[in-house]
Every structure is written in structure tokens, then in C-alpha cells.
């Protein structure tokens, strides 16, 4: 069996979702992201609550699974270990999953760097929080 620090998990999910709000803000990568994915630059409020709720639940599940992996592999003893392991998971699993999909969808490299960069960043963040709380 394993132990998950539920406070650290919730903090990771909230922090990661907050980073997403900044990352995909039009002043940072939002306009470029919309452009490379062909999304209308004008915000559409239809279904926004459903989109945000689904996005948060997916973020929570991602953080939960990453925390389990960190605990099971004993890479959660300090913030630095968690961040290093989070980087490896973010780059090696999340980033490469995006790379595979975007290659076959013929998405531009810019789309990959924005989306994979976000996943790598939140993986490092989640790893660091998990490590700082010791699980």
C-alpha cells in the first residue's frame, strides 16, 4: 500500500491549474496557442464551465497519478528529487505522448513546445510539491 498526502495533491492540482491560466493567457502563449490550433481568438463562453471543470478534473487525475508514481518509486523524499522525477515524467511520458500525437496531426513545432512545455512545467511543480510534503 502507499500513502498520498491529499493536501499536497490538492495543492498540486490547484497550482497546476493556476499555471495553466497564466501559461495559456493571451499575454504569454495564449494567442500563439490559439493560432497554431486554429481556435477563434474571441473567447466563447458557451460551455466554459464544463470545459474548466473537465480540465480541473483531468489535472487532478494527472497530479494524482504522478504522485503515486513518485511515492511508489521512492522519489518523493525532498523537493529536489520530486522536481527531477517530475521533469523526467513530464518530458519522457507527457511530452512524448504529445509529440507522437502532434507528429501524426501535422501540428507545427510551436504547438508542441507550448503544450509539452506546460505539461513538463506542471510535472516539475507537482513533483516538487509532492517531494516537499514527503508524499
The structural domains of the chain, with segments of one domain joined by +, span 6-61+76-132
Predicted confidence at residue 2, as pLDDT, reads 64
Q: Grid coordinates standing for 26?
A: 493571451
Task: Please write the tens of the pLDDT for every residue from 81-132.
Answer: 999 999 999 999 999 999 999 999 999 999 999 999 999 999 999 999 999 9
Which residues, 6 or more positions from 130, have their beta carbon under 8 angstroms from its beta carbon?
5, 8, 9, 12, 66, 67, 70, 71, 76, 82, 86
pLDDT band at 19 (very low <50, low <70, confident <90, very high): very high
- In this model, does residue 135 exceed pLDDT 60? no
- Do 95 and 116 contact (CB within 8 A), yes or no? yes
Predicted confidence at residue 45, as pLDDT, reads 72
Task: Please write the tens of the pLDDT for every residue from 32-85.
Answer: 999 999 888 776 677 888 989 999 999 999 999 999 998 888 867 799 999 999
Q: Grid coordinates standing for 43?
A: 473567447
- Do 95 and 119 contact (CB within 8 A), yes or no? yes
Amino acid at each position: 500500500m502507499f500513502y498520498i498526502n491529499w493536501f499536497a495533491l490538492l495543492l498540486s492540482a490547484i497550482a497546476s491549474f493556476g499555471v495553466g491560466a497564466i501559461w495559456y493567457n493571451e499575454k504569454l502563449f495564449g494567442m500563439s496557442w490559439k493560432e497554431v490550433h486554429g481556435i477563434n481568438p474571441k473567447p466563447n463562453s458557451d460551455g466554459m464551465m464544463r470545459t474548466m471543470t473537465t480540465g480541473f478534473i483531468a489535472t487532478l487525475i494527472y497530479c494524482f497519478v504522478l504522485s503515486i508514481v513518485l511515492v511508489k518509486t521512492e522519489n518523493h523524499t525532498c523537493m529536489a528529487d520530486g522536481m527531477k522525477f517530475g521533469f523526467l515524467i513530464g518530458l519522457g511520458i507527457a511530452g512524448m505522448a504529445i509529440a507522437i500525437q502532434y507528429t501524426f496531426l501535422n501540428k507545427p513545432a510551436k504547438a508542441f513546445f507550448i503544450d509539452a512545455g506546460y505539461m513538463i512545467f506542471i510535472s516539475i511543480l507537482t513533483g516538487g510539491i509532492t517531494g516537499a510534503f514527503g508524499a
